[in-house]
Amino acid sequence: MSLDTAPGLRLVDVSAGYDELVLRDISLFLPRGSITGVIGPNGSGKSTLLRAILGLTPLMEGTVTLDGVLVARDRQRVAYVPQREAVDWSFPITAAGVVLMGRYPRLGVLRRPGAEDHRAVLGALDRVGAGALADRQIGALSGGQQQRIFLARALVQEAAVILLDEPMTGVDQTTERVIGTLFGELRDSGVTIVQATHDLESAAATCDLLAFVNRRLVAFGPPAETFTAPTLHATFGGEMLIVEAGNHTHVHAGGHHTPDDAAAAPRRST
Amino acid sequence: MGWLTDPLGYDFVLRALAEVLIMGATCGAIGAYVIVRRLSFIGDAISHAVFPGIVIAYLLGVSILVGALAAGLLTSLAIGWVSRSGRIREDAAIGIFFAAAFALGIVLISTRRTFQGDLTGFLVGNLQAVGARDIAISAATGLVVIGLLVVLHKELLLVSFDRTLAAALGYPIFGLDLLMLVLLTVTIVVSIQAVGIILVLAMLVTPAATARLVVDRFGPMIALGAAIGAVIGMAGYYLSFHLGIASGGTIVLLATAIFLVAFVLSPTHGLLGHRLRRHPQHRAGAPAIDAPGAPEDQAT
Model pLDDT for residues B223-241, shown as the tens digit of each residue = 999 999 999 999 999 999 9
Give the nearest partner residue to B161 out of A91, A107, A139, using CB atoms.
A91
Is A263's pLDDT higher than 70?
A: no
Q: Considering chain B, what is the average pLDDT of its residues?
A: 86
- This model of the complex carries an ipTM of 0.83
Residues from chain B contacting residue A82 (CB–CB below 8 Å): 162, 164-165
Among partner residues B32, B286, B299, which is closest to A84 by beta-carbon distance? B299
What pLDDT does B298 receive? Answer: 38
Q: How far apart are CA B1 and CA B8, in angstroms?
A: 12
Residue A251 has pLDDT above 50, yes or no: yes
- Of all residues in chain B, the percent with pLDDT exceeding 90 is 51
Q: Report in angstroms the alpha-carbon separations of A149 from A72, A77, A127, B82.
A: 26, 19, 10, 41
Q: Is the pLDDT of residue B6 over 90?
A: no
Over the stretch B58-80, which tens digit does the pLDDT of each residue have? 888 888 888 888 898 888 788 87
Neighbours of B195 (CB within 10 A): 33
Instruction: Please give the Cα distance from B288 to B293 (Å, whole number).
Output: 8
Confidence of residue B275 (pLDDT cuts 50, 70, 90): low
| pLDDT surpassing 90 at residue A262 | no
Using a CB-CB distance cutoff of 8 angstroms, which residues of chain A are in contact with residue B156? none
Distance CA A85, CA A76 (A): 23
What is the reported pLDDT for A241?
Answer: 57
Q: Which residue of A has its CA nearest to B286?
A: A140
Q: A203-228: per-residue pLDDT in tens?
A: 888 999 999 999 999 999 999 999 88
A264 pLDDT above the threshold of 60: no
For residue B288, pLDDT beyond 60:
no
Task: Please say whether the beta carbons of B188 and B53 come within 8 A.
Answer: no
Element (H, E) at B70: helix B64-84
CA A260 to chain centre: 24
**B-side interface with A, Cβ within 8 Å?**
32, 36, 151-152, 154-155, 157-158, 160-162, 164-165, 167-170, 212, 215-218, 221, 285-287, 289-294, 296-300
In chain B, residues with a C-beta closer than 8 Å to the C-beta of A86 are 164
Span B81-125, pLDDT tens digits: 887 777 888 888 888 888 899 999 999 988 888 878 888 888 888
Contacts of A70 in chain B (CB under 8 A): none
Determine the longest span between alpha carbons in chain A, in angstroms: 60
Disruptive mutation site among B35, B157, B163, B169 for chain A (greatest number of A CBs within 10 Å) = B169
- A137-179 pLDDT, tens digit each: 999 999 899 999 999 999 999 999 999 998 888 788 888 888 8
- Give the Cβ contact number of residue B106 at 10 Å: 15
Residues of chain A with Cβ-Cβ distance to B216 below 8 Å are 92-94, 137
Comparing CA positions, the residue from B198, B249, B200, B192 lying closest to residue B54 is B192
Residue A196 has phi, psi (to 5 degrees) of -85, 135
pLDDT band at A253 (very low <50, low <70, confident <90, very high): low
Q: Do A137 and B212 touch (CB under 8 A)?
A: no
pLDDT tens, residue by residue, B142-196: 999 999 999 999 999 999 999 999 999 989 998 998 899 889 999 998 898 889 9
Write out pLDDT tens, residues A58-111: 899 999 999 999 998 888 899 999 888 889 999 999 999 999 999 998 888 888
